Structure 1
């Protein structure tokens, strides 16, 4: 079993690094060094940062090996320098960064060959390696978002997502009562997903699918961006200051810019690149609301036939391409109805993949939360100005999303691949 786990970890590390290479080798050196938005780091910073984290945790901590580049620790500490300031730092060149991450990986694989994968919490089930895989995949999604913000000719390609296979409309009733939220058994789950605990959720209705571009166009046409009554005071103030009139990357009449290409808006795709305040305003216009985080997770996991919480909407098996639009296999959300095999037992579709879904809850710890393996992963963000996002996007890897996975961001952010669905009280 231990050898099988080692092989699985090695394969995940290799698969993840291949994606990192794709995202960083698709552009020239100038593009790697350039800051394409003050919201994002230069791509070369992300590249060296994933190597630095791998060195800190796998080479030094788990492996007990001597540091390779202690001189760059502070340069690639995400808490030391804001993204907007990183281009001015004495960063490694693209050539140096590639050499560094390759050297770190060689050392990490040697550690994997020799270390016991049990005996301490950091190693049980290969957690430290899983944490590094997920960390790199999260930065890969961040780099994909940077690609969406860059100007210039297209450099990324992928096949179009599948077409809709079934019609998905209306809303689904979720019965009230307790369910198990979070996890205590998922080996690579992060600290904010833990521990599993019972939450009593009242009956509610939730949309069977995320809000689509076509439905969002109706909101715009109805003057949704011009009517203050739909917006919270903070949301309206931000809309006015930022000059929001449509989702991010919408251009002209009925088109959007996606990874350097101008495409016609597909009315059946989930809307993407909207901030929390836009989602909140749309919900008010539609006479509904955003689901709470507990409601979202119950809709995604609860099986009324057994009363248990599944790992994923479709069951306990790992995601496959037939279940969800994940892993940058495509460069856009799939139309609603494209993944019937991924629906929950209650009939809620596309909860995993396509677009991160804003929910109404703030980022707070679960009862019994314990920071692990370091406070800065979650604990320092609790109680801040953050709203939750659930479910992952087309740019999220299978290793970095679960029905228990919790993402968070400021409510003004929309460079991320964010959308939403609606709920209402029963």
Structure 2
């Protein structure tokens, strides 16, 4: 890791420690409000209104802790049960939903321990670097004040000029230690939070079932849309050509005896129509599963795709073998859709595709130097990629700031089905 990386991460962790202190203090009034609301539940039904409101505040605070933990490499999924429909604040149904959710009580159990760990680790994250900064600044202050009594009563006293010079390397060392240790302190705090706020085994199974339900519905919808597209292309293209072909051949049969010259012209027209229909059928089949993908695998298909683009596109691949046909097809069309978006919308001069496989995950990264500003909510292309990958538990991460560059990172869990026989290398 480069020096600027650990310095940047350390400063970010110190800032996280500063933020953790007031957030940890906030846990205490939230805990008190929850207990008071729980006590007031039998009193005129006040708890039916107060307790759900306080619980939602606690959940918002817990969600913030989860997001902060994810920023330091400790993600934690939301374990809450789905909210029932038609359950306004103050309704018995909403109250029962919150009170019977185990995650509500796990959030409550986290508030006080989260206060202790947040305060202790936050103060440590801030105090050590500040102590190092104090050591660095003492010599200039000592010289500026021009007195040997400046350090009286300070944590780091200086009585002589020699002690002042000695404080500089000591302060720099302590500052470096504080910056280097801050990410680990944030990591420990995030793990403590995840212990309470992360989903239990049963909650993970429930979330997994919900996710599979959504992805299955998306897959069914995508398959239905694909079938409709195929039917429409057949009806408007090859089917119409074949109907016209049959009519032309029928006319030629009727005119063979009376007008052979016209019959020959009709047969020539029928031959051209059959060729056109064959081309359309080939394009339709290529849209279902490209022959180049079946013949050359994912790497070769992506290289062939890049060669057909109007902008220079380099391809780097480290794929040691073939994947199952559905996985290769999903990966190919995902990359193809991203490259199509680049040519249509980005005004890029260059693009790059990287493919590699590690730890049973196929990684795909597509970059361009275009205008940026891509937004999945702004069209169906990127959302379609997400749905296509989600059917295989895949993910897509988009980074596209205004002005570029745009980087689309896709991951697809899969294992190799067969080793690669003829390796290829280089770029397109």
Asked if Structure 1 and Structure 2 have the same fold, meaning a TM-score greater than 0.5 normalized by the shorter chain, the answer is no
Which bin holds the TM-score, normalised by the shorter protein? under 0.3
**TM-score of the superposed pair, with normalisation by structure 1:** 0.26
Max Rg structure = 2
**TM-score of the superposed pair, with normalisation by structure 2:** 0.26
Highest RCO, 1 vs 2 (Cα 8 Å, sep ≥ 6): 1
